[in-house]
Amino acid sequence: MIRTASSIRTLVQSLRAISSFSQTGVGARNSYNSGAVSSLQQVIRPSTYGEDEYADVDWDNLGFGITPADYMYINQSTKDGEFHQGQLSRYGALELSPAAGVLNYGQGLYEGTKAYRKEDGRLLVFRPDQNALRMKMGADRICMPCPSVDQFVDAVKQVALANKRWVKQTPPPGKGTMYIRPLLMGSGPIMGLAPAPEYTFLIYCSPVGNYFKLGLLQEGFAPLNLYVEDEFHRATRGGAGGVKSITNYAPVLKAIARAKGNGYSDVLYLDSVHKRYLEEVSSCNIFVLKGRVISTPAAIGTILQGVTRKSIIEIASDQGYQVEERAVAVDELAEADEVFCTGTAVGVASVASITYQGKRLEYKVGAETVAQQLYSILEGIKSGAIEDKKGWVVEI
């Protein structure tokens, strides 16, 4: 069971206050109440910020770290695994049972999307329905109930609107957005190895900068220097590598630490069976360009089906490139013109070099690359600067 650490007396008083606000119409606007108030959730206090006030964010030096926005969203399932109405509350710590399924057995998933602000002030979110569908797929894989697509998208809209002062109007290109992190976890206590009895869906936000903030190139993005890992593996056939399970990430920390200790940006993993085919980088998908052909490893259970990956495949096809989803051998890296990575956090990041078995391969980077062309189109659609003809952008 998950709850905030407030007393019952304070909770009752706060509930009465919210009821009073709702009756006068003030609470609905200032507390962003989105449904019935649960006794297990922190109660929102009215916002003290003006409608046009922006949060003070140093976009130039932000980096990809946690700077909590004002509000988070919480929705706890019923005993039968149903999700009804959740609510927005002030960002804060949570109490979690030591026996929670997520703590003991890693029963949890996360997603990631971003919010943008158009010049006219309207907020935009990029393809949240795809994050919702991926979460449902992941929840099915690790035996969790999941909010519906509509519930997921509605919650993302609510938390983006509640934290709109953290969404800067057209920040410097490549220097920041408001990152939205949905989580689904087994919060109920369980001793034996089994699905948890209760689940919590929550979303929090933070303004973030470039994920790979190593230097400046291409509007604030640093080209990556990757190391091909042939000892550790990110995923195996029949495992959970194709879903965004929290258990997929801690096992790669050792390989990342070793690579960064040797001066590399991140790790590129090979398949665990043949140790010959590219899979993905620790937190993003990979693409290889040769001429007018762009190849990316097929999502066959060990590759995460990235929303940015899917979008870039469509954009590249629209631009006349032949895009192939297939097994990509590590040997093909020697013949590539460009290599780039994609992901919600990284956007589209050019790869300057890849080191494999002691040999360093270098690739084209800079403003004239295909990667930069695709990045510019993608970011233009996300921010509303380019007309969205695909129905990808959700306006709040």
| Residues tagged active-site | 244
Cβ proximity of 393 and 311 under 8 Å: no
Contact present, 339 and 294 (Cβ < 8 Å): no
- Please name the residue that has the structure tokens 């949905």: 182
Contact predicate 206/158, CB 8 Å: no
Residue 95 in 3-state DSSP? strand
Cα 159 to the center of its chain, rounded Å: 14
Q: How many whole angstroms separate alpha carbon 269 and alpha carbon 254?
A: 13
How far apart are the C-alpha atoms of 346 and 124, rounded to whole Å? 19
Phi/psi class of residue 111: alpha, beta or left (left: φ > 0; alpha: ψ in -120 to 50)?
Answer: beta
* Residue 287 parent element (H or E): strand 285-290
Count the helix, strand and coil residues of the chain and give each as a percent rounded to the nearest 5: 25, 25, 45
The Cα–Cα gap between 189 and 252 comes to 27
Cα end-to-end span (Å), the chain: 32
Question: Tokens 């007393």 appear where?
Answer: 7
